Amino acid sequence: MRAWRLRTSLILLLALTTLVAAIIVGAAILTIRLPQIQQEASARAKESATQLVQLTEYFIGGIEAQLVPLAHLAAQPGALTSLQPHLDALVRQGGSFEAIYIANGDGLTKAVALAPGHHGKPSELLGADLSAKTLYRAVRQSAQPVWSDKYLSIISGELAFGVGLHAGDIIIIGEVRTQRIVDIVQAFTAQTQYPVIVLDSRAEWIAGDREGNGETHINWADRPTIHAALAGESPPPTMSIAGRTMHSGYALSPRLGWIFATGVPGGMANPAYRNTVIFVIFSLFGAIAVGLLLAPLWAARMLRPINLFSSVGRCPTGRCG
């Protein structure tokens, strides 16, 4: 075995002690803190999604509320024939609805109003049978206003969202252009610092951070987080959004039935995670640098008495100093 000088051994001992201590403390910090950061990220994703749901529902509620006075009027006996001016006023002035129509208990449309610039002729839409429409059926069975998923409108021929409510036997349905809803949702999602996707209850794309990408045209039901949301289960810890793996959280909109999924960056893309890792690495290198700087000095200081003894021991032979 190679014999080291005492000074070298002392330098190594002091430097290694510092290094090992730094590694142990750093590993402890990483072991404890990193999972905490990941949990915090998931909680933040969930919180962000919940806030988006609340904001969206607040504004959606505003659109829905425009139909409520109409429902009160429609509930009056014999009011059906006098509702047309109110419908026309609502589509012209409200700006929210592409079309509003009123159906009787048999599902036949009795009054229709179309937004200005619409191709259709309202008179040709009278008598349309809505009885097989999913939204019509859902409204009939609900005491509350009901929102649809994205659907093909018989009135406009375009993809739309419908909101319906009933007053007695009378059903009132308002159709909102998908772009109007997308604009509202995107106004909120743009304010969040995290990627967001909003899907209807069939996991079809409504809005989010992937506009213009092919992913807006796929059905998301097979993604683990969305699958969990549809099944009412806890989401997996991560999901892939915008090509990156993120800590996921979702919230369901009770009013709309839509899924709001948010991803908070995971791993080194997460600032808290990254800062912690960088802090530990810098601490480690700092400890090594300080150790390497101080160890020789400290070793020299420790060896001074021994060196003194050694030089005194050499005096009888005439080799003092």
What's the closest the beta carbon of residue 30 comes to another protein, in angstroms?
Answer: 25
Pick 172 or 226: Cβ nearer another protein: 226
d(CA 7, CA 302): 9
d(CA 248, CA 184): 22
What's the closest the beta carbon of residue 217 comes to another protein, in angstroms?
Answer: 4
Pick 23 or 154: Cβ nearer another protein: 154
- Cβ-Cβ contacts under 8 Å for 150 (sequence gap 6 or more): 159, 160, 161, 178, 200, 204, 206
Q: Which stretch binds another protein (CB under 8 A): 73-81, 93-101, 139-147, 157-165?
A: 157-165
Structure tokens at 207: 């809005």
Q: Residues 91 to 110: which contact another protein by CB under 8 A? A: 107
Q: How many CA atoms lie within 13 A of 183 on its CB side?
A: 6
What's the closest the beta carbon of residue 282 comes to another protein, in angstroms?
Answer: 30
Q: Would you call 189 helix, strand, or coil by DSSP? A: helix
**Beta-sheet pairing, 146-147 with 170-177:** unpaired
d(CA 293, CA 304): 18
Pick 88 or 158: Cβ nearer another protein: 158
Q: What are the distances in angstroms from CA 70 to CA 90, 92, 117? A: 9, 15, 23
Per-position x/- string for 113-142, each x denoting binding to another protein as judged by CB under 8 A, each - no binding = ------x-x-xx--xxxxxxxx--------
Q: Residues 165 to 224: which contact another protein by CB under 8 A? A: 201-202, 204, 214, 217-219, 221-222
Size of interface with another protein, in residues (CB under 8 A): 27
Pick 130 or 264: Cβ nearer another protein: 130
Q: Given candidates 152, 305, 317, 318, which one binds another protein under the rule CB under 8 A?
A: 152
Per-position x/- string for 49-88, each x denoting binding to another protein as judged by CB under 8 A, each - no binding = ----------------------------------------
For the chain, the helix, strand and coil percentages under 3-state DSSP, each to the nearest 5: 50, 20, 30
What's the closest the beta carbon of residue 129 comes to another protein, in angstroms?
Answer: 3
Pick 119 or 319: Cβ nearer another protein: 119
Long-range contacts at 162-168 (CB < 8 A, ≥ 24 apart)? 162/135, 163/63, 163/64, 163/67, 164/135, 164/136, 164/138, 164/139, 165/64, 165/67, 165/68, 165/71, 165/139, 166/71, 166/139, 166/140, 166/142, 167/71, 167/72, 167/74, 167/75, 168/74, 168/75
Q: Residues 274 to 313: which contact another protein by CB under 8 A? A: none
Q: Given candidates 33, 158, 180, 210, which one binds another protein under the rule CB under 8 A?
A: 158
Pick 214 or 316: Cβ nearer another protein: 214
What's the closest the beta carbon of residue 131 comes to another protein, in angstroms?
Answer: 5
Pick 32 or 222: Cβ nearer another protein: 222
Neighbouring C-beta atoms of residue 110, cutoff 10 Å: 19
Pick 84 or 216: Cβ nearer another protein: 216
Q: How far is CA 318 from the centre of its chain?
A: 84
Contact footprint for another protein (CB under 8 A): 107, 119, 121, 123-124, 127-134, 152, 154, 157-159, 201-202, 204, 214, 217-219, 221-222
